[in-house]
Structure 1
Amino acid sequence: MTSTDHESWATQTFGLRVRHRSGTPLLTELVAPGLRRNPRRAHLLVSSVLGKHIAADPRDVIAAGHQLGRAVASLGLGDVDVLGMAETATSLGHCVADNLDAAMYLHTTRRHAPPNMIYAEFQEGHSHATDHTLQPSSADLFAQPRPIVLVDDEISTGNTAFATVAALQQLQHRAHYVVASLVDVRNDTHRHDAAAVSNKLRTSVHFVSLAQGDVDQPAGLIDAVCALNPPVLNTPSDRPPSTPSRLTLPWPAHVPEGGRHGFLRQDRPEFEEAVLWASEHLHSYLDPSRPVLLVGHEELMYLPLRLADQLARHGFNTRFQSTTRSPAYVHNHPEYPLGTGWTFPASEPGETSARFLYNGWQAPPHVRVQLVLLVDRIAASGDLTVGEVLAASGYDVIIAEVDGPDATTLAEIRGRQQ
């Protein structure tokens, strides 16, 4: 950029900058610099095509995932398993798996589970929530030593990817891994060290991404951002709030609604039918003349993405995003990607930390956006204050529950199918 007129507020104020190196599209078309008051890392890259912090056209989100899948396919590895990283890349990973027709898709999770249900676990050092676990319906899902494609929205150092590879290598040796991301902003040292770490783990780790670049972080950034006043969240609307409504979407008891416990190639046809069934049911509760914002609940991103896409195919003006555990810094500035935010209690029983939604869909004042929050059975059984918070901001809120099989049920179903 040659002018500061279009630089991010975070760049103008703090000197935090992203720079493009290579790839298509440009790094600056995929992400913008954002901030978080976190002593581990004070910045985040806010993606325009992920559907997490920014409400995105579902067709753009799916297209980005498929483009990343094609980049992986160009490596010619043959049949693969795909592992998506929670919480931001659960739908991105699933889209990559779709494009590759992967044998198995699984995403990491931060949802608590008994020790006997956890196949592996590892840490993500810079994240707000650091513990990842793998909770496949059975360890047999990892029995074949196929190459694994690790999918994340951003690779900043590669440390989380290598921690994942190390945990998996202890359980099953594999000769090949691919780390696939929308953006890769590792510095030269991280890129140089990757080969040595791969050799230490006795495997090959190949990195692919849509765009590569750099993040310039000025000295003292963490202290400066952590010194900011807390952001103003939950700004109420001038319009009287509506009362959130609830519904249960039809869903087959034997079809996984996502990848938390493993999604197999043979699950795909019935999943596609179930998406059509659920979207037709949801369609009947919505006004096609008004915008629809499909909001996923944290890691439950892929199904709401697909529902948003189906509504778009039927003429609805739709956007997609999801709630998050991560507290980001909100500042209302036209050149900053996190202009509005809401906070509310966690829905899952036993969870105590706050949850968040950012930006939403800023429709004209005379338009009431229909916001559909999709939750699974566990979240639906907990605190759903989120509905009241978002309704107070002017949305007409529908909380839609989908009741897919848990890990134990999936294990029993798959055992009978063998």
Structure 2
Amino acid sequence: MKDNILSPYYPSMSKRTYNILEQIQVQVSVTHNPYSIPLDRLFSMAARNNKKRAFLFVSHVLGKHIPVNPHVSLLSGVCLALLLKQEMDGDVPENLIAIAVEGLIDPSKAKVAYSEIIESGLSLSQPVTLIGFAETATAIGHAVYHTFQAWKETCSFIHTTREDIKQLESVISFNEEHSHAVAHYCYANDPKLLKDPETIVLVDDEITTGKTSLNIIREIQAAFPKKKYVVLSLLDWRTEEDEQKYQQLEMELGVTIRTIALVKGGIDVSGEPVLSTENEIRAMASSERSDSIEIMFVDRFFEHVPCSSQNDQGYENHSPYLKYSGRFGLDSHENQEVDKSIAEAAAYLLSTRIGNKTLCMGTGEFMYLPMRIAAEMGDGIYYQSTTRSPIHANRSEDYAVQTAYPYPSPDNPAVLNYLYNISPGMYDELYLFFEREAEPEAFRHFMQILDSLQLKKINIVFFSPSVQDWKGVQRNHG
């Protein structure tokens, strides 16, 4: 793999120190930046309300905590896909790399860049299964997979999940030890998705210690032995000691483990954690429901899986899941059907837009389909997603998280979710995407937050068939 394919924004090694709210200092040393992408284009820093890890790299390309052009998020997956193809098949045409990176750096060029690369017909020479990690990497994992539109052989994608689906058995289960939500499950409809290919590709947004990848590799190897694993990430901050653990596992299991990242380096952290109190991050919300809320359903455009889930409070949700979300596995034969469903749903939602500046918002793990739909809903679209990740908000200049709204998750009220970086009057309208319906009462606090944002219209979009009674709220079936 060549370094500095584009103009060299960085020499072979560069250092930068981030001072987070005058309490935490993070020195970043970049040792590998193959596509010469400026760090400021990839992330900024924030304090994290988590004793296990006091800071967070807040991505500018994921579409999670910061609103982005949805095509930029998709291109982050494309860039990882190009690195994967270089690893597996040799060189990639440099013009495609230049197009992808230019679109990633300049959002005004992202849409054209993404379309050109998808239409180029990239493929891999051998079948692989790609696995995206919940919750943050579900979309980029899917975007990597979707980049290869001209598969020579059948390849597959699945993402891990924290959903407790009672009718299904997880084919592999593992822990993400540093996370606020530790347990991961993997519900593959067809175990051949993990059994058949010789190579498994794990996709994550960031590797700090790499323990999560080591944990899942052990689980996969015990059930579905492989010859090679590739760990693909936007950022890789592992120490030499962490890297040695990968080498030790290679020897122990008799496998090859390759790690590839857009940026690789090291971090040195000093200072004290910044721990928020509830009052510091709670938003002021209206006590009355807005008349501008519309409940929308796009279920007729998608196929479903009739499974129920149980949350931490014992409530069973019988709304079906989406078949092609990635949670249950996909292979290349299903790509055309997924694209068709996305295009139809996007065309319908585009016809309902009233504003020039519109925020489309995924929820939790449900990121990729909303992102793809947002990308086809016209100009003036921004995309981001809600998250479980607790981050300290502060309005200091250049700080990554300016506002934070905590609320009980409608899917699981025992779990606190967050909406970041949105202020009153910032957008004309909002499209809030949920994979499944839940009880209307479970949305009460979220609705209050949305009411405080001075939006002309709030569209709550469900991808499951209607099973609830939303009294006094306009409903619209696509």
TM-score range, shorter chain: 0.7 to 0.9
The higher-RCO structure (CA 8 Å, 6+ apart) is: 1
Report how far residue 298 of structure 1 moved: 0.4
Deviations along 1:16-69, one digit per CA (max 9) or x if unpaired, are 343433213133431222111212111111000001111111111111110100
2:269 to 194, 217, 240: 217
Structure 1 residues 127 and 38: alpha-carbon distance in aligned structure 2, compared to 1, 3 A threshold:
same
Q: Describe the shift of the 1:76–1:391 C-alpha distance in structure 2 as closer, same or farther (beyond 3 A).
A: same
> Which of 394, 403, 418 is residue 356 of structure 1 equivalent to?
418
Q: Structure 1 vs Structure 2: percent identity of aligned residues?
A: 27
C-alpha change, 1:379 and 1:200, in structure 2 (3 Å) is farther
Relative to structure 1, is the Cα distance of residues 272 and 229 closer, same or farther in structure 2, using a 3 angstrom cutoff? closer
Tell whether 2:303 aligns with 1:253: yes
* Alignment pair present for 1:103 and 2:184: no
Per-residue Cα deviation, 1:203-252 (whole angstroms, up to 9, x for no partner): 1110001111222211x53xx32377853232458x99554211001323
Residue pairs, 1:130-169, within 5 angstroms: 130-169=182-221
Instruction: Specify which of 76, 80, 89 is matched with residue 137 of structure 2.
Output: 89
Aligned partner of 1:388: which letter? Answer: Q
Partner SS state of residue 181, structure 1? strand
* CA offset digits 1:291-326 (Å, max 9, x no partner): 111110100000111011101xx3x20111111112
1:314-353 deviations in whole A, cap 9, x for unaligned? 3x201111111121111111211011111111111x5412
- Contact map agreement 2:413 2:442 (CA 8 A) in 1: no
1:265 pairs with 2:332: yes
For 1:18, which of 24, 28, 34 is the aligned residue? 28
Judged with a 3 Å threshold, the aligned counterparts in structure 2 of structure 1 residues 327 and 227 are, in CA distance, closer, same or farther, namely closer
CA distance, structure 1, for counterparts of residue 440 and residue 189 of structure 2: 22
Please identify, of 188-197 and 167-176, the stretch whose mean Cα deviation from structure 2 is larger. 188-197
Change (3 A) 1:135 1:115: same
Helix, strand or coil at the partner of 1:145: coil
Tell me the equivalent position of 2:282. Answer: 233
Q: 1-side partners of 2:363 and 2:190: how far apart?
A: 25
Q: CA–CA distance in 2 between the matches of 1:293 and 1:302?
A: 15
Match of 1:195 in 2: 247
Q: CA RMSD in A?
A: 2.6
Partner deviation per Cα, 1:188-213 (whole Å, 9 max, x = no partner): 22123321122222211100011112
| SS of aligned partner of 1:98 | helix
Find the counterpart in structure 2 of residue 279 from structure 1: 346
- 3-state SS of paired residue (2:442): coil
Which of 38, 58, 63 is residue 51 of structure 1 equivalent to? 63
Q: Which residue of 1 aligns with 2:122?
A: none
TM-score (norm 2): 0.76
**Aligned mate of 1:61, from 51, 58, 73:** 73
Find the residue that maps to 1:96 and give its secondary structure.
helix
Aligned partner (choices 66, 74, 80) of residue 86 of structure 2: 74
AA partner of residue 180 (structure 1): L
Q: Tell me, which stretches of 5 or more residues in structure 2 are unaligned?
A: 1-9, 11-15, 90-125, 305-321, 466-478
Give the whole-Å Cα distance in 2 for the aligned partners of 1:265 and 1:54. Answer: 31
Moved over 6 A (4+): none
- Distance in 2 (CA, whole Å) between partners of 1:158 and 1:240 is 45
TM-score by length of 1: 0.86
In structure 2, do the counterparts of structure 1 residues 143 and 240 end up closer, same or farther at CA, with 3 Å as the change threshold? closer
Q: Distance in 2 between the 1:380 and 1:291 partners?
A: 30
Decide whether aligned partners of structure 1 residues 229 and 295 sit closer, same or farther in structure 2, where only a CA change above 3 A counts.
Answer: closer
Tell me which residue corresponds to 1:328: 391
Q: Is 1:236–1:394's contact at 8 Å kept on the other side of the alignment?
A: no
C-alpha deviation, 1:265, in angstroms = 1.0
Question: Is the contact between residue 7 and residue 335 of structure 1 (CA under 8 Å) also seen in structure 2?
Answer: no
2:258 maps to amino acid: H
Most deviating of 99-108 and 118-127: 99-108
How far apart are the structure 2 equivalents of 1:227 and 1:247?
36
Q: Residues 76-124 of structure 1: CA distance to partner in whole angstroms, max 9, x if unpaired?
A: 2622110000000000000011123571110000011227421111101
Instruction: Find the counterpart in structure 1 of residue 176 from structure 2.
Output: 124
1:184 aligns with: 236
Q: 1:378, CA displacement in angstroms?
A: 4.6
- Asked whether the equivalents of residues 295 and 321 of structure 1 are also in contact (C-alpha less than 8 Å), the reply is yes
What amino acid sits opposite 2:459 in the alignment?
I
Query: Which of 295, 298, 301 is the aligned partner of 2:367?
Result: 301
**For 1:370 and 1:8, how far apart are their aligned partners in 2?**
34
Write out per-residue CA displacement over residues 158-193 of structure 1, whole angstroms, 9 at most, x where no aligned residue. Answer: 110010111111110000110000111112221233
Distance in 1 between the 2:39 and 2:259 partners? Answer: 16
Structure 1 alignment gaps of length 5 or more: 405-418
Distance in 2 between residues matched to 1:25 and 1:151, nearest whole Å: 19
Distance 1:226 1:354 in 2: 16
